[in-house]
Structure 1
């Protein structure tokens, strides 16, 4: 049964438009990080995997957004690069000296960016 659920989830994710896919993956990473915060003592052993997943996701997002052929405006490319730099530094800090208060900003960033990606422009 679990295999079927995983296969369905992969198919559903592959069919999403790029912005929705990015938002979904950011929310997945935020959820994994939030789970650490919700049960810090019971889940400390999951810190490295959750933080690594988030860092890898941000590596892909930042690489895609900042590449030369990206259609994003330069200011947005710079903002994404700055956020990614923060995420990378915070991730390293969390992995060296895990503490729940260091994880909260990562959760918040992912949720805010996901909300922005899911927002639809208002019709004029």
Structure 2
């Protein structure tokens, strides 16, 4: 794989950083929808979140390829995304039980994502704010 130049790396990290904010906004929307009983739109948003997780995971491979030697802390944070993915193992069962599904999203998936997002964004800030 060819090396990314500095501008391409900046673009990748910048897009990635903001994608994480968008996913957080989507999770917030889905959680709020349980209280507003607007679950149809929330299903669409959650589907978008799942697609975003796929893109995050795909981007992680590229970021790891470029940072493994130069930034071990960023590498550790990237690999923590597996914790978020592991939470998805419970999703299929929960999806068909609305109250359990809401609790699962609120108490397990969202906190796992938020914790990971905060750590990775802290590590990415020096790359996108220079």
- TM beyond 0.5: yes
Whose helix fraction is larger, Structure 1's or Structure 2's?
Answer: 2
Q: How much is the aligned-residue C-alpha RMSD, in angstroms?
A: 3.0
Larger relative CO (CA 8 A, sep 6+): 1 or 2?
A: 1
Q: Quote the Cα distance in structure 1 between the aligned partners of 2:116 and 2:82.
A: 14
Q: Quote the Cα distance in structure 2 between the aligned partners of 1:30 and 1:19.
A: 17
Q: Quote the Cα distance in structure 2 between the aligned partners of 1:101 and 1:110.
A: 15
Q: Tell me, which stretches of 5 or more residues in structure 1 are unaligned?
A: 1-15
Do structure 1's residue 101 and structure 2's residue 107 form an aligned pair?
yes
* Deviations 1:26-83, CA, capped at 9 Å, x for gaps: 111111111111112423534750441242133123212222xx134344323311x1
Is the CA contact (8 Å cut-off) linking 1:23 and 1:117 kept in structure 2?
yes
TM norm structure 2: 0.60
Is the CA contact (8 Å cut-off) linking 2:60 and 2:78 kept in structure 1?
yes
How many residue pairs align between the two structures? 104
Matched residue, 2:43: 45
Q: How does 1:1-124 map to 2 (within 5 A)?
A: 17-40=11-34, 41-43=37-39, 45-46=43-44, 48-67=46-65, 70-71=66-67, 72-81=70-79, 83-97=80-94, 98=101, 99=104, 100-109=106-115, 111-112=117-118, 113-114=120-121, 116-118=123-125, 120=129
Q: Tell me, which stretches of 5 or more residues in structure 2 are unaligned?
A: 1-9, 95-100
User: Aligned pair in 2 of structure 1 residues 105, 88: CA closer, same or farther (>3 Å)?
Assistant: same
TM norm structure 1: 0.62
